[in-house]
Amino acid sequence: MSVDGKQEYHKASNSLVFGGILTYISCLLLVMAFASPYWIQSYEETFSDFKHMGLWEYCFEEFRYPFYQFNTLFDGCHYIFSEKYYVLREWLLPGWLMVVQAFVTLALMLSFSSQIIIALELIRWPLEFVLMYEWLLSATAFIGNALAAVLLFLAVSIFGGECWRRDWLLYPNFNYLSWSYGFAVCSMFLHGIAAFLIYMDAKKGWEYRKESRNLVVQMHPNPGRNGYV
Protein backbone atom coordinates (compact mmCIF):
# COMPACT_ATOMS: atom_id res chain seq x y z
CA MET A 1 0.00 0.00 0.00
CA SER A 2 1.16 3.49 -0.76
CA VAL A 3 -0.10 7.05 -0.78
CA ASP A 4 1.47 9.55 -3.23
CA GLY A 5 4.20 7.04 -3.90
CA LYS A 6 5.18 6.76 -0.23
CA GLN A 7 4.96 3.61 1.83
CA GLU A 8 2.33 3.66 4.58
CA TYR A 9 3.14 2.43 8.07
CA HIS A 10 1.17 2.25 11.28
CA LYS A 11 1.60 4.99 13.84
CA ALA A 12 2.26 4.60 17.55
CA SER A 13 -0.72 3.29 19.51
CA ASN A 14 -2.66 5.34 22.04
CA SER A 15 -1.38 3.04 24.78
CA LEU A 16 2.19 3.94 23.92
CA VAL A 17 1.39 7.67 23.68
CA PHE A 18 -0.35 7.81 27.05
CA GLY A 19 2.24 5.50 28.58
CA GLY A 20 4.97 7.82 27.35
CA ILE A 21 3.20 10.87 28.79
CA LEU A 22 2.84 9.18 32.17
CA THR A 23 6.47 8.07 32.08
CA TYR A 24 7.55 11.66 31.46
CA ILE A 25 5.39 13.02 34.30
CA SER A 26 6.48 10.31 36.72
CA CYS A 27 10.14 10.90 35.84
CA LEU A 28 9.70 14.63 36.39
CA LEU A 29 8.26 13.97 39.85
CA LEU A 30 11.09 11.55 40.55
CA VAL A 31 13.73 14.12 39.58
CA MET A 32 12.21 16.63 41.99
CA ALA A 33 12.06 14.02 44.76
CA PHE A 34 15.63 12.97 43.99
CA ALA A 35 17.06 16.49 44.15
CA SER A 36 14.93 18.28 46.76
CA PRO A 37 15.74 18.17 50.51
CA TYR A 38 12.20 17.67 51.80
CA TRP A 39 11.74 13.96 52.35
CA ILE A 40 11.26 14.61 56.05
CA GLN A 41 11.09 17.88 57.99
CA SER A 42 10.37 19.12 61.47
CA TYR A 43 7.19 20.86 62.62
CA GLU A 44 7.81 24.59 62.64
CA GLU A 45 6.28 25.05 66.09
CA THR A 46 8.76 22.63 67.69
CA PHE A 47 11.73 24.96 66.96
CA SER A 48 13.85 21.87 66.32
CA ASP A 49 17.55 22.18 65.46
CA PHE A 50 16.87 19.82 62.58
CA LYS A 51 14.90 21.50 59.79
CA HIS A 52 14.60 19.12 56.82
CA MET A 53 16.52 16.63 54.72
CA GLY A 54 16.52 14.85 51.39
CA LEU A 55 18.46 12.00 49.90
CA TRP A 56 21.55 14.16 49.41
CA GLU A 57 21.17 17.18 51.70
CA TYR A 58 20.57 17.99 55.38
CA CYS A 59 19.50 21.32 56.85
CA PHE A 60 20.13 22.30 60.49
CA GLU A 61 19.90 25.47 62.53
CA GLU A 62 22.63 25.84 65.15
CA PHE A 63 22.67 22.10 65.77
CA ARG A 64 25.09 20.51 68.25
CA TYR A 65 25.71 16.81 67.78
CA PRO A 66 25.73 15.37 71.32
CA PHE A 67 28.26 12.64 70.54
CA TYR A 68 30.85 14.98 69.02
CA GLN A 69 33.50 15.97 71.53
CA PHE A 70 33.97 19.52 70.24
CA ASN A 71 31.42 22.28 70.70
CA THR A 72 30.71 22.76 66.99
CA LEU A 73 27.56 24.27 65.55
CA PHE A 74 26.16 22.84 62.34
CA ASP A 75 24.08 25.45 60.56
CA GLY A 76 22.46 25.74 57.14
CA CYS A 77 21.95 23.26 54.30
CA HIS A 78 24.85 21.17 53.06
CA TYR A 79 25.49 18.25 50.72
CA ILE A 80 25.64 15.01 52.67
CA PHE A 81 29.15 14.23 51.36
CA SER A 82 30.47 17.74 52.00
CA GLU A 83 33.41 18.41 54.29
CA LYS A 84 31.03 20.24 56.64
CA TYR A 85 29.28 16.98 57.54
CA TYR A 86 32.37 14.79 57.55
CA VAL A 87 32.24 14.14 61.29
CA LEU A 88 28.48 13.42 61.13
CA ARG A 89 28.43 11.30 58.00
CA GLU A 90 28.23 7.94 59.73
CA TRP A 91 25.23 9.16 61.73
CA LEU A 92 23.55 11.02 58.86
CA LEU A 93 23.98 8.19 56.37
CA PRO A 94 22.95 4.86 57.93
CA GLY A 95 22.94 1.71 55.83
CA TRP A 96 19.20 1.72 55.15
CA LEU A 97 19.39 5.30 53.77
CA MET A 98 22.17 4.29 51.38
CA VAL A 99 19.90 1.50 50.15
CA VAL A 100 17.12 4.05 49.57
CA GLN A 101 19.56 6.29 47.67
CA ALA A 102 20.62 3.35 45.50
CA PHE A 103 17.05 2.29 44.72
CA VAL A 104 15.91 5.80 43.80
CA THR A 105 19.00 6.35 41.63
CA LEU A 106 18.43 3.09 39.77
CA ALA A 107 14.74 3.93 39.32
CA LEU A 108 15.70 7.30 37.84
CA MET A 109 18.12 5.69 35.39
CA LEU A 110 15.52 3.13 34.32
CA SER A 111 12.91 5.85 33.87
CA PHE A 112 15.22 7.94 31.69
CA SER A 113 16.12 4.89 29.60
CA SER A 114 12.46 4.02 29.11
CA GLN A 115 11.72 7.57 27.98
CA ILE A 116 14.43 7.39 25.33
CA ILE A 117 13.04 4.12 23.96
CA ILE A 118 9.46 5.43 23.97
CA ALA A 119 10.54 8.65 22.25
CA LEU A 120 12.20 6.66 19.45
CA GLU A 121 9.03 4.63 19.01
CA LEU A 122 6.84 7.72 18.91
CA ILE A 123 8.90 9.51 16.25
CA ARG A 124 9.45 6.22 14.38
CA TRP A 125 13.22 6.53 14.17
CA PRO A 126 14.94 4.61 12.76
CA LEU A 127 11.75 3.66 10.94
CA GLU A 128 12.57 0.17 9.74
CA PHE A 129 14.11 -0.91 13.02
CA VAL A 130 11.10 0.37 14.98
CA LEU A 131 8.66 -1.40 12.65
CA MET A 132 10.60 -4.65 12.90
CA TYR A 133 11.16 -4.64 16.65
CA GLU A 134 8.46 -2.37 18.08
CA TRP A 135 7.17 -5.14 20.34
CA LEU A 136 10.66 -5.68 21.72
CA LEU A 137 11.22 -1.96 22.30
CA SER A 138 7.87 -1.65 24.08
CA ALA A 139 8.64 -4.73 26.16
CA THR A 140 11.96 -3.19 27.18
CA ALA A 141 10.25 0.10 28.12
CA PHE A 142 7.64 -1.87 30.06
CA ILE A 143 10.33 -3.69 32.04
CA GLY A 144 12.12 -0.39 32.75
CA ASN A 145 8.95 1.25 34.07
CA ALA A 146 7.91 -1.80 36.05
CA LEU A 147 11.34 -2.12 37.68
CA ALA A 148 11.34 1.61 38.46
CA ALA A 149 7.96 1.23 40.18
CA VAL A 150 9.19 -1.74 42.21
CA LEU A 151 12.40 0.03 43.24
CA LEU A 152 10.46 3.13 44.27
CA PHE A 153 8.05 0.99 46.27
CA LEU A 154 10.98 -0.52 48.14
CA ALA A 155 12.59 2.91 48.61
CA VAL A 156 9.53 4.66 50.04
CA SER A 157 8.66 1.63 52.16
CA ILE A 158 12.13 1.43 53.69
CA PHE A 159 12.33 5.18 54.25
CA GLY A 160 8.82 5.39 55.69
CA GLY A 161 9.55 2.52 58.06
CA GLU A 162 13.02 3.60 59.19
CA CYS A 163 12.79 7.39 59.38
CA TRP A 164 11.32 7.29 62.91
CA ARG A 165 14.30 5.46 64.40
CA ARG A 166 15.64 7.16 67.51
CA ASP A 167 19.23 6.25 66.64
CA TRP A 168 18.99 8.43 63.52
CA LEU A 169 17.51 11.95 63.79
CA LEU A 170 16.99 13.18 67.34
CA TYR A 171 13.39 13.58 68.53
CA PRO A 172 11.72 11.83 65.56
CA ASN A 173 8.28 12.67 66.94
CA PHE A 174 9.00 16.30 65.98
CA ASN A 175 9.21 15.34 62.29
CA TYR A 176 6.83 14.42 59.48
CA LEU A 177 7.15 13.06 55.95
CA SER A 178 7.17 15.99 53.52
CA TRP A 179 6.39 16.72 49.87
CA SER A 180 9.55 15.24 48.33
CA TYR A 181 8.58 11.88 49.80
CA GLY A 182 5.06 12.39 48.46
CA PHE A 183 6.45 13.04 44.97
CA ALA A 184 8.37 9.76 45.16
CA VAL A 185 5.18 7.92 46.11
CA CYS A 186 3.23 9.55 43.25
CA SER A 187 6.04 8.70 40.85
CA MET A 188 5.86 5.08 41.97
CA PHE A 189 2.15 4.82 41.13
CA LEU A 190 2.50 6.63 37.80
CA HIS A 191 5.38 4.40 36.74
CA GLY A 192 3.20 1.39 37.51
CA ILE A 193 0.30 2.72 35.41
CA ALA A 194 2.68 3.63 32.58
CA ALA A 195 4.15 0.13 32.69
CA PHE A 196 0.68 -1.39 32.27
CA LEU A 197 -0.14 0.82 29.27
CA ILE A 198 3.18 0.07 27.59
CA TYR A 199 2.68 -3.63 28.25
CA MET A 200 -0.59 -3.41 26.32
CA ASP A 201 1.30 -1.83 23.42
CA ALA A 202 3.98 -4.55 23.55
CA LYS A 203 1.27 -7.23 23.51
CA LYS A 204 -0.37 -5.64 20.47
CA GLY A 205 3.01 -5.28 18.74
CA TRP A 206 3.71 -8.98 19.28
CA GLU A 207 0.40 -9.88 17.64
CA TYR A 208 1.15 -7.72 14.59
CA ARG A 209 4.86 -8.51 14.28
CA LYS A 210 4.40 -10.51 11.05
CA GLU A 211 2.50 -7.67 9.39
CA SER A 212 5.25 -5.24 10.40
CA ARG A 213 7.93 -7.53 9.01
CA ASN A 214 6.04 -7.81 5.71
CA LEU A 215 5.72 -4.04 5.55
CA VAL A 216 9.50 -3.63 5.92
CA VAL A 217 10.06 -6.24 3.21
CA GLN A 218 7.74 -4.30 0.90
CA MET A 219 9.87 -1.21 1.44
CA HIS A 220 12.80 -3.12 -0.09
CA PRO A 221 11.54 -5.28 -2.93
CA ASN A 222 15.10 -6.42 -3.75
CA PRO A 223 15.50 -9.67 -1.69
CA GLY A 224 18.42 -9.79 0.68
CA ARG A 225 19.11 -6.07 0.35
CA ASN A 226 19.13 -5.34 4.07
CA GLY A 227 19.16 -8.74 5.72
CA TYR A 228 15.47 -8.77 6.72
CA VAL A 229 14.75 -11.65 4.33
Question: Above 70 in pLDDT, residue 146?
Answer: yes
The CA-to-CA distance between both ends of the chain, in Å, stands at: 19
Domain locations in the chain as residue ranges: 11-36+94-219
Q: Is the pTM of this model over 0.85?
A: yes
Average pLDDT of every residue of the chain: 90
Residue, of 115 and 128, whose pLDDT is higher: 115
Query: Looking at residue 229, what is its pLDDT?
Result: 44
CA triplet 60, 77, 166: central angle to 5 degrees? 40
185 has pLDDT over 80: yes
Q: How high is the pLDDT of residue 217?
A: 66
Q: How many CB atoms lie within 10 A of CB 20?
A: 23
Give the span between the Cα atoms of 196 and 190, in whole angstroms: 10
Pick the CATH number of 11-36+94-219 from 1.10.443, 1.20.140, 2.40.160, 3.10.450: 1.20.140
Q: Please, which pLDDT band fits residue 212 given cuts at 50, 70 and 90?
A: low
Q: Cβ(40)–Cβ(179) under 8 Å?
A: no
Q: What is the pLDDT of residue 128?
A: 84
pLDDT at residue 1 tops 80: no
Q: What is the DSSP string of 76-134?
A: EEEETTSGGGGGGHHHHS-HHHHHHHHHHHHHHHHHHHHHHHHHHHHHT-SHHHHHHHH
Average pLDDT over residues 10-14: 85
Is the confidence at residue 221, as pLDDT, over 70? Answer: no
**CA separation for the pair 63, 75 (Å, rounded):** 6
**SS3 category, 178:** coil
At residue 228, the pLDDT reads: 47
